[in-house]
Amino acid sequence: MIRRKAYDAVLRLSGQFPVVAVTGPRQSGKTTLAKAAFPQKRYVSLDDKNMREIAKSNPGDFLKAFPDGAIIDEAQKVPELFDAIKLDVDSGEYSPGKYILTGSSQFRLKENITDSLAGRIGMIKLLPFSIQELKNEGLLSDDPYDYAWGGFYPPLYDKSKRFLRDDWFENYIDSYLDLDVRDQINPSNVNAFRKLLQVCAARSGQLANYDDISRNVGVSAVTVRSWLSILEASYIVHFLEPDSNNLGKSVVKTPKLYFVDPGLTSYLLRLDSKEELLLDAHKGAVVETMAISELLKSRFNDGKKANLTFFRDKNGFEVDTIADWKHTFAIEVKSNSDAEIKASSNVRKYIELRSDDSKGKVYYLGDLTCMVNDVQYVSWKDWGN
């Protein structure tokens, strides 16, 4: 089993909070992580209809069946359970890490947490495998396009299941639409929602132009915004907000849209092979999608907020992402494998405009991480490290 980097953060939070929630997209490994981190805890899935009915009918008695706590999978499916958990953790001796909740719907889980468990719960967002997790297990190939095309979802790395990439993604999308989307939209719009996925895949790494997406999908811009919020809440897409430090310039106010997994992006772009991706006009955008995803994973796996933005002024000057962490990092993503000096021109200009201790990085597809003119060129094998 591939050891998840979020393992330590989950244990850290469980030593402080009586409840820990592990959220993330479907098939990202949430249940596997919870069971690995808490092997002594009983496990119950609310995907089980019978168990779900028992929990709904009398949530207090349901919890009494687990005096030492439990891992409760897909907890958001029984909203009544959250008040019962609150009463349980408030009434007895303080017991950190008593309940571990997992769920694929961030929106529903967060809604229940806000209503019932605020201040009592630690949150971890678990995305699919990271480059560093594969590297640490000796499973990283020498070709970055294996991942830009194939993606990082754990089932695709399970040799015992022998999934084919196209078959798995097609069934993943069907399951996602049936289980996470259908009850949040008009059922007659499911095909339009599927089209939204394809339209957005072609715009990963671009400003979120709601009117343009609306025209291509055939629904209103208001509906597009609503549907994109569903995609974001279920960890299919992520938005980067524009950098608020305008450096005396007029900056854009629109967020950038990114898919969370580059393999899903490539699948929705109907790219049949990594060789086809290499020749496709979306190659740079897919590589940038992969880089942003690795930055998200590095933060989420440590239990931290992303704190990623981007900079673009009205004249078109842009830096792909600004990481506001212990230091501020201006990061450009390049889909070439050479550490060319010109690749860092935008980050150097941005740092010069800021006149502070910001640092520059260029994420590129070479094998060597090195310094070039005070800018670090980061090999794809070290992304998110």
Sign for the pseudo-dihedral over CA of 80, 70, 301, 170: negative
Q: Are 110 and 232 a contacting pair, CB within 8 Å?
A: no
Distances (CA, A) of 126 to 102, 118, 225: 10, 20, 24
Tokens 């605020």 correspond to: 118
3-class DSSP state for residue 241? strand
Report residue 146 as tokens.
């294996």
Rounded (10°) angle between helices 221-233 and 210-217: 100
Q: Is residue 126 scored above 70 in pLDDT?
A: yes
pLDDT digits (tens, 9 = 90+) for 92-114: 889 999 999 998 766 677 777 77
The backbone torsions φ and ψ at residue 71, rounded to the nearest 5 degrees and listed phi first, read: -90, 120
How far apart are the C-alpha atoms of 288 and 320, rounded to whole Å? 8
Which pLDDT score is estimated for 358?
92
How far apart are the C-alpha atoms of 170 and 40, rounded to whole Å? 36
Bridge partners of 259, per DSSP, are 237
pLDDT digits (tens, 9 = 90+) for 150-203: 999 999 999 899 999 999 999 999 999 988 898 889 999 999 999 999 999 999
pLDDT band, residue 339 (cuts 50/70/90): confident
Bridge partners of 313, per DSSP, are 251
Which pLDDT score is estimated for 107?
66
Q: Are 362 and 375 a contacting pair, CB within 8 Å?
A: yes
Q: Is residue 4 scored above 70 in pLDDT?
A: yes
Q: Average pLDDT, stretch 305-312?
A: 95
Report residue 190 as tokens.
């499911």
Q: Are 339 and 370 a contacting pair, CB within 8 Å?
A: yes
Domain 6-125, CATH number (from 3.40.50.150, 3.30.413.10, 3.40.50.300, 3.40.50.2000): 3.40.50.300
How far apart are the C-alpha atoms of 268 and 367, rounded to whole Å? 28
Which pLDDT score is estimated for 113?
77
Q: What percent of the chain clears pLDDT 70, i.e. is strictly above it?
A: 98
How far apart are the C-alpha atoms of 77 and 369, rounded to whole Å? 45
How far apart are the C-alpha atoms of 76 and 68, rounded to whole Å? 21
- Segments making up each domain of the chain, as ranges: 6-125, 131-382
Bridge partners of 371, per DSSP, are 376
pLDDT digits (tens, 9 = 90+) for 38-90: 999 999 999 899 999 999 999 999 999 999 999 999 898 899 999 999 999 99
Q: Average pLDDT, stretch 211-240?
A: 96
Residue 65: partners with Cβ closer than 8 Å, 6 or more residues away: none
Of 211, 202, 248, 210, nearest in space to 228 by CA: 210
Which pLDDT score is estimated for 115?
73
Strands 256-259 vs 99-103: parallel, antiparallel or unpaired: unpaired
